[in-house]
Amino acid sequence: MAVLSEELRDQIRAQFPKYPNKRAVVLPALHLVQDAQRHVSIEAVREIAELLELHPSEVHDTMSFYQFFKDEKHQLGKHRVWVCRSISCMLRGGEELLQHMCERLHVHPGQTSADGKITMEFAECLGACEGAPCVLVDDEAHMNITPEKADELLKNL
């Protein structure tokens, strides 16, 4: 049975006119699928390839390069929370914050909380250095995060 819904296929096809070839739609398609399904399964890779007229290995080659995309063995939680560990955040407590948040959820970076709600990750510079340490919740940045504010953030997800 197909894993990509007709709606998802339409969303992918809607990207075609923006580019001179279909291969350029690999990243937009992977984003659409991962947003909807919280991972990109090998079957989804096959179906994306068919839509884009590529070999599945070409799609998988691209997907595996970007550690951002996760396969069925590493499914994401409902939300993805990234803590910056690069220089400006590290100097203002980013690493301690990452440790604190991981302990709060009883996970290591890259793992998902037991309730399947939150995947905790470290990030390299999030480009919000004026508000270090910063945290990205899905793709929205939150700045000047203290451990107390982090607990609040996690609680509200």
Partner 1 sequence: MAEFQPVLLARVGKPDSHLLETYRRDGGYEGFKKALGMAPAEVVATVKDSGLRGRGGAGFPTGLKWTFLPKDHPGPIYLAINADESEPATFNNRILMEEDPHQVLEGIAISCYAIKSKAAYIYLRYEYGRSYRVLQKAIDECYAAGIFGKNIFGSGFDLDVVLHRGAAAYICGEETGLIESLEGKRAWPRIKPPFPAIEGLFRKPTIVNNIETMACVKNILDLGGDWFKSLGVPPDPSNPRDAGSYGPKLYCISGHVNKPGCVELPMGITARQLIDEHGGGVWKGRKAKAVVPGGISMGFLSASELDTPLDFNGPGKVGCLGLGTAAITVIDDETSMVDVLFNCARFFAHESCGQCTPCREGTAWMHKILTRIRMGEGQMRDLDLLTEVAASMGIIPGTTICGLSDGAAWPIKNAIKKFRPEFEEYISTGRKTVKPAESLMAAH
Q: How far is the CB of 100 from partner 1 (least distance, A)?
A: 11
The C-alpha atoms of residue 157 and residue 155 are separated, in whole angstroms, by 6
Nearer to partner 1, 61 or 152 (CB): 61
Are the CB atoms for 33 and 26 separated by under 8 Å? no
Q: Which of 1, 20, 73, 156 binds partner 1 (CB under 8 A)?
A: 20
Asked if 65 interacts with partner 1 (CB under 8 A), we say yes
Q: Which of 31, 46, 74, 149 binds partner 1 (CB under 8 A)?
A: 31
> Taking the alpha carbons of 5, 10, 11, 17 in that order, is the dihedral positive or negative?
positive
Asked if 98 interacts with partner 1 (CB under 8 A), we say yes
Asked if 19 interacts with partner 1 (CB under 8 A), we say yes
The C-alpha atoms of residue 157 and residue 60 are separated, in whole angstroms, by 31
Q: Which range of residues in 6-14, 37-45, 71-79, 125-133 is near partner 1 by CB under 8 A?
A: 125-133
Asked if 113 interacts with partner 1 (CB under 8 A), we say no
Cα angle, residue 94 at apex, residues 90 and 97 outer, rounded to 5°: 150
CA–centroid distance for 49 within its chain: 21
Asked if 95 interacts with partner 1 (CB under 8 A), we say yes
Q: Which two tokens stand for residue 85?
A: 């560990």
Quick one: CA torsion of 146, 113, 72, 15, rounded to 10 degrees? -40
Q: Where do contacts with partner 1 occur on this chain (CB under 8 A)?
A: 18-21, 23-28, 30-31, 52, 61-62, 65-69, 82, 85-88, 90-92, 95, 98-99, 102, 108-109, 122-132, 136, 138-141
